[in-house]
Amino acid sequence: MDHPRIVHFIGVAWDSLSDLCVVMEYMEGGDLRTLLTGYEASNHPVGINHEKATIALHVCHALTYLHSLSPPVIHRDLKSCNILLNHAMEAKVIDFGISRERMDQTMTAGVGTSLWMAPEVMLGEKYDDKADMFSFGVVLSELDVHTLPK
């Protein structure tokens, strides 16, 4: 996948099959969850500002790209820990380990992380790229109030 809002995969290095290392583009700003935890600890004002809106827009760009592929790709584990930031606070999505192309047959139930998981995924029902949009809504809530859903 080649998109400016998806972390660039460089390659794989290994000494043995048990010592694999994935090499990706360096994102010096860390992950969004760590940033928001710091905001909460420092009483950073809640609400959406320009910086947070830009992060959200960048994630939207990544999802739009994934969902517009043929066949569409569903990330299936979109969460604040899987959104990395560079020094300029530009966001990129990572962790495509459980993503897959959307097919008409039944998709695997229960994949992803529960706090960000769409109800239809949890219930083992048929789902599509809208499951990523549910997860994105949870990320928007995190951007707004800095905390995880309860």
Coil, strand or helix: which one is 138? helix
Domain holding 58, by residue range, is 26-145
Output the tens digit of pLDDT for each of the chain's 150 residues. Answer: 799 999 999 998 888 878 888 899 999 999 999 999 999 999 999 999 999 999 999 999 999 999 999 999 998 889 999 999 999 999 999 986 544 444 444 444 444 567 888 878 888 888 888 999 999 999 999 999 999 987
Q: Would residue 20 count as lying in a domain? A: no
Active site residues: 77
CA distance 30 to 47: 21
Residue 18 included in any domain: no
- Say if 115 falls within a structural domain: yes
- Number of folded domains that form the chain: 1
CB count in 10 Å sphere of residue 56: 18
Cβ–Cβ < 8 Å for 136, 59: yes
The CATH number assigned to the domain holding 119 equals 1.10.510.10
In a domain, residue 13? The reply is no
